[in-house]
Chain A
Amino acid sequence: MSNAQPAAGEMIVTDEVMIQLAGVNKWYGQFHVLKEIDLTVMKGERIVICGPSGSGKSTLIRCINRLEEHQRGKIMVDGVELTHDLKNIEKVRREVGMVFQHFNLFPHLTVLENLTLAPIWVKKVPKREAEETAMHYLNRVKIPEQAQKYPGQLSGGQQQRVAIARSLCMSPKVMLFDEPTSALDPEMIKEVLDVMIELAQSGMTMICVTHEMGFARTVANRVIFMDRGEIIEQNEPEEFFNNPQSDRTKLFLSQILHH
Chain B
Amino acid sequence: MSDTSMEKVIPGNRPSLPPPVTESGVLGWMRHNLFSNWWDTLLTLAAIYILYLVIPPFLNWAVFDAIWQFSPEVVQDGKQPQFADCTAISSGACWIFVRARFWQFIFGFYPDEERWRVVLTFILLVGSVYGLLSQRVANKKPVAIFFFVIFPFLAFFLLHGGLGLPEVPTSRWGGIMLTLIIAGIGILFSLPLGILLALGRRSQLPIVHLLCVLFIEFARGVPLVTILFMANIMLPLFLPPQFEPDILLRILVGVTMFASAYMAEVIRGGLQALPKGQYEGAMAMGLGYWQMMRLVIMPQALRVAIPGIVNNFISLTQDTTLVAIVGLYDFLNIVRAGSRDSNWIGTEMEGYVFCAFVYWVFCFAMSRYSMHIERKLHTGHKRH
Contacts and interface: CB of A to CB of B under 8 A. Distances in A.
B381 A93 contact: no
B341 interface: no
Interface of B: 275, 277-278, 280-288, 291, 295-296, 299-300, 303, 380-384
B285 A170 contact: yes
Contacts of B384: 107, 151-152
Given A107-B300, A151-B384, A121 B284 contact: no
A222 interface: no
B296 A106 contact: yes
A106 B291 CA distance: 14
Given A107-B384, A108-B299, A121-B295, 16 more contacts: A67-B283, A67-B284, A93-B286, A97-B284, A97-B285, A100-B284, A102-B277, A103-B277, A104-B280, A106-B281, A106-B300, A107-B381, A118-B287, A122-B291, A150-B381, A167-B285
A216 to B, nearest CB: 23
Interface residues of A, number: 27
A94 B287 CA distance: 9
A153 B383 contact: yes
B277 A93 contact: no
A98 B284 contact: yes
B286 A151 contact: no
A67 B281 CA distance: 10
Contact of A166 (B275, B283, B285, B295): B285
B125 to A, nearest CB: 28
Main secondary structure of the interface of B (DSSP, over half): helix
A90 interface: yes
9 contacts: A93-B283, A93-B286, A94-B286, A107-B384, A117-B296, A118-B287, A153-B381, A153-B383, A166-B285
Please give me the 8 A-B residue pairs with the lowest Cβ-Cβ distance, nearest first: A104-B281, A152-B383, A150-B381, A118-B285, A104-B277, A93-B286, A107-B384, A98-B284
Contacts of A167: 284-285
Interface in A18-44: none
Contact of A100 (B280, B300, B380): B280
Contacts of A122: 285-288, 291
Contacts of B380: 108, 150
A158 interface: no
Contacts of B382: 150, 152-153
B288 A90 contact: yes
B141 to A, nearest CB: 14
Interface in A64-112: 65, 67, 90, 93-94, 96-98, 100, 102-108
A96 B280 CA distance: 13
A147 to B, nearest CB: 15
A64 to B, nearest CB: 10
Contact of B303 (A94, A108, A121): A108
A170 B284 CA distance: 11
B291 A108 contact: no
A73 to B, nearest CB: 21
A96 B275 CA distance: 22
B300 A67 contact: no
Contact of A121 (B275, B281, B291, B300): B291
Nearest to A152: B383
Contacts of A102: 275, 277
A100 B281 contact: yes
Contacts of A97: 284-285
Contacts of A100: 277, 280-281, 284
Interface in A137-161: 150-153
B275 to A, nearest CB: 8
Contacts of B295: 117, 121
Contacts of B383: 152-153
